[in-house]
Amino acid sequence: MSETSAGEEGAWKIALALSVVLTLSVALCEPAPREAVGRFLGVVGLSALLLGWGVRGGWTWLNGGPRWRAVTVIAGGALALRLAAWMAPVSLSDDVWRYVWDGAIVAAGENPYAETPRERVRRVQGEFDGVSDEVDRAERAELERLNSPDYHTVYPPGAQAVFASATIAAGWLGGVSERWLRLVFVLADLLAVLLIARALLAMRRAVGWAALYAWHPLVVWEVGGGGHTEALAVGLMVVLVLMLGRSRPWMVGAVIGLSALAKLTFLIVSPLVGVALWRRGRFRDALIAACVAVGVVVAGYMPFWFEDLIANQRESVALYAGVFSFDAPLYYAARYLLGYREGVSDPVTHILSPALQLATMATLVAATLWQDGSRRRLASSMVVGWAGYLVFNPVLHPWYALGLLAAAALAGSWSVSLAGLALMLSYLFYDPAVGRPEEIAVMVVQSVWAAAVVGWQMGPRAITWALRRRAKTKFDAVRPYLRPGDRVLDLGAGEGFVGALVAEAGHEVVLAEVDDRNRTALPMVTYDGEFLPLDDDQFDVAIIAYTLHHARHPDQVLAEAARVARRLVILETVYERSWDRRLVTFLDHSANRLRGMAPEPLYFDRVEGWLERLQARSLKVLTWRWLGRGVHRHVIIVADRQGAQR
């Protein structure tokens, strides 16, 4: 190993070690994180920079050596970071106290779904009228630190079993239930890290992507510091990716059911997995998996069944769906646009909630239909599904993103991991000094940051996808005018995607463009925009797709095209009125900016103008027709300088 590479290796290991120390400093310093949010976020931000540098600097080392070495380092760093956060007192979220409450009830052999915490305290005090003041004060203090003490618990039976195990461990081994419970979450999440690494290897992706989840500050603090049930379900979600195509469908269904018993929101991935199974084999496999999943969930709830179970659960879920809202920029913006003003106008939840639920369902349907039966596509669609759920949810706590961040690691979506960091800014909302204007500013920052980093990674991919889709549309329009054996010139070829489709149809194709943006294996000829360095009659057909309005001298381009090819197939944007021309100019400039092209003068014409130009060059127009007369008016024109004869 060279001195430089050894230095780089040492630097990123130091960055990881410093991040552990920073995380530990929060645990050892007073006050607790929620009482010093600014300091806590500063530590998180510095830790994120160090860890990002560590992942980037150690990328070659992590992925270039033995797999066991990389997995050991990633998992070791994950454990160290989580244990450092575990040592901090609970303050970021109060959910863990409800877990402890439920766990004590289950460990005592009672039903946690039967009563609200306040109802239980009143009942117990009524049964034990002689209870001491000290015990009464302790019960009331425990009650007051719970969230929503007047609502029934919504945590499913699998999570309840884990809660109870922490209570039992505290009774047998000493300590407090909260610490044992968070330790269980840490260990469960460490297993998820190992499973992510295994899934990446199965998908033949770099194992280093596992560090996006393993070392992510949000994951570290929400699992080790806050303690959340998502940690129980993340690993099961990853198992579903590993099982795809290699396990019996009933086993897949069982894992789906178990993930739902750990955290109900993880049912989001169930339709994705079902359709992936269907695409790989038979519809029967998906149906078996679905039936088994439902059976596992029902079996999990059966020990807790009583007459009002469903009613109590529905009431509590309605609280989250219709009452609570937190750090949800889209929700607040939509509510404002609908005319809602807090304390002034009537609520608009009855309109907004169904609309957001419909948008969530539409996103999940799109992600589901995107399946092709592969693990890679399943992982990517999980990112889409989770993102849709979070974006349209009126409540967006940071820990809700654990499933998204795990899916992002599987899919190699580093931008989603970066976007997730901004969710931790929502802890500023607990600071008494932060009012509504500051909250809005934070949500704007979160939204802009997420859009910027995701666009940074996904923008080029989305543009390429759109260009290929548009190329298919162009080819479908041109194909009827191509004859078997035609030699084709794609003039103004851009990236070459249209020419590639023509070549796939069995034609010999050459691309021509003023600058080389070719992204295909086809030969490319560059020219000055006026004179083509090609022989007379070298081609049978010249395709000129939405190019002429970019040419400084479109008549010269037509003349050159007619010289080197016998037949011209022209796709062109046209206008009919002056405002129409201004609109298509704006749209064209906007689209080309996304492709990295600077704005330039455009030379649009009417249909009649192009027909006259062709006839002036002794080209006979064989046919022309509208391809669209909406906002974007465009036509196809076929002309031959030798009439209808070849």
Q: How is the chain split into domains, by residue range?
A: 3-95+110-116+151-434, 466-640
Return the pLDDT at 563. Answer: 94
Tell me the average pLDDT across 355-367. 94
> What residues are paired with 569 via a beta bridge?
543, 638
Structure-model confidence comparison of residues 629 and 411, the more confident one: 411
Residue type, 442: V
In order of 494, 549, 592, 606, the CA distances from 585 in angstroms are 18, 10, 11, 14
pLDDT at 630 over 70: yes
pLDDT at 618: 86
The pLDDT value given to residue 3: 43
- Mean of per-residue pLDDT scores for the chain: 89
pLDDT band, very low/low/confident/very high, at 106 (cuts 50, 70, 90): very high
* pLDDT in the model for residue 646: 43
- Predicted confidence at residue 320, as pLDDT, reads 67
Whether 270 has a pLDDT exceeding 90, the answer reads: yes
Residue 89 has what pLDDT? 87
Q: What is the model's pLDDT at position 138?
A: 62
The pLDDT score that the predictor gives to residue 506 is: 94
Residue 252 identity: V
Cβ pair 226, 399 in contact under 8 A:
yes
Whether omega for the bond prior to residue 249 falls within 30 degrees of 0, making it cis, is: no
- CA 111-114-115 angle, 5° bins: 115
| Gap between the terminal Cα atoms of the chain | 67
pLDDT confidence of residue 146: 84
Sheet of 565-573: strands edge to edge?
A: 524-526, 508-513, 487-491, 539-545, 565-573, 633-640, 620-629
What is residue 597's predicted lDDT score, i.e. its pLDDT?
A: 62
- 342 has a pLDDT exceeding 90: no
Q: Is 80 exceeded by the pLDDT of residue 572?
A: yes
pTM here is 0.83
Using CA atoms, how far residue 389 sits from 258, 362, 365, 373, in Å, is 20, 10, 12, 22
- Reduced 3-state DSSP string for 532-590: CCCCCCCEEEEEEECCHHHCCCHHHHHHHHHHHEEEEEEEEEECCCHHHHHHHHHHHHH
Give the pLDDT mean for 257-278. Answer: 95
Exposed/middle/buried for 502, CB within 10 Å: 0-12, 13-18, 19+?
A: buried
Pick left, alpha or beta for residue 55 (phi over 0 → left; psi -120 to 50 → alpha; otherwise beta): alpha
**Residue 140 pLDDT > 80:** no
pLDDT in tens, 513-569: 998 989 999 999 999 988 999 999 999 999 999 989 888 889 999 999 999 999 999
Which CATH superfamily, name and number, covers 466-640? Vaccinia Virus protein VP39 (3.40.50.150)
With H, G, I as helix, E, B as strand and everything else as coil, classify residue 625: strand
pLDDT digits (tens, 9 = 90+) for 422-446: 999 999 998 888 888 889 999 999 9
Least confident of 42-46, 61-65, 452-456: 61-65
Q: For residues 200 and 218, is the Cβ–Cβ distance under 8 A?
A: no
For 573-602, what is each residue's pLDDT tens digit?
888 877 767 777 777 666 666 656 666 778
pLDDT at res. 645? 44
Out of 122-126, 131-135, 191-195, 594-598, give the one with best mean pLDDT. 191-195
Coil/strand/helix, residue 630: coil
pLDDT at 4: 41
Q: Tell me the average pLDDT across 383-387.
A: 96
* pLDDT, mean of residues 368-387: 95
**In this predicted structure, what is the pLDDT of residue 1?**
38
DSSP bridge partners of 626: 635
- Decide which of 130 and 299 is more confident: 299
For residue 532, the cross-strand partners are: none
* Gap between the Cα atoms of 523 and 534, Å rounded: 13
Q: What's the pLDDT score for residue 423?
A: 95
pLDDT band of residue 246 (cuts 50, 70, 90) is confident
**Residues 84, 96: Cα–Cα separation, whole Å:** 18
Give residue-wise pLDDT tens across range 479-517.
999 999 999 999 999 899 999 999 999 999 999 999 898
Eight-state DSSP code of residue 620: E
CA dihedral 488, 494, 495, 499 (to 10 degrees): -10
**Residue 36 corresponds to which tokens in the numbers above?**
């010093």
- In the predicted model, what is the mean pLDDT of residues 449-466? 86
Q: Is the pLDDT of residue 643 over 50?
A: no
Which residue type is seen at 278?
A: W
Mean pLDDT of 355-379: 94
Q: Which of 121-125, 311-315, 437-441 is predicted with the least confidence, judged by mean pLDDT?
A: 121-125
Q: Answer whether residue 144 shows pLDDT above 80.
A: no
DSSP-assigned letter for residue 548:
G
| 204: DSSP letter | T
Backbone phi and psi for residue 626, each to the nearest 5 degrees, phi listed first:
-75, 135
**Which residues make beta-bridge pairs with 159?**
none
Among 67-76, 226-235, 550-559, 598-607, the least confident range: 598-607
pLDDT of the residue at 133: 54
Average pLDDT on 335-346 reads 84
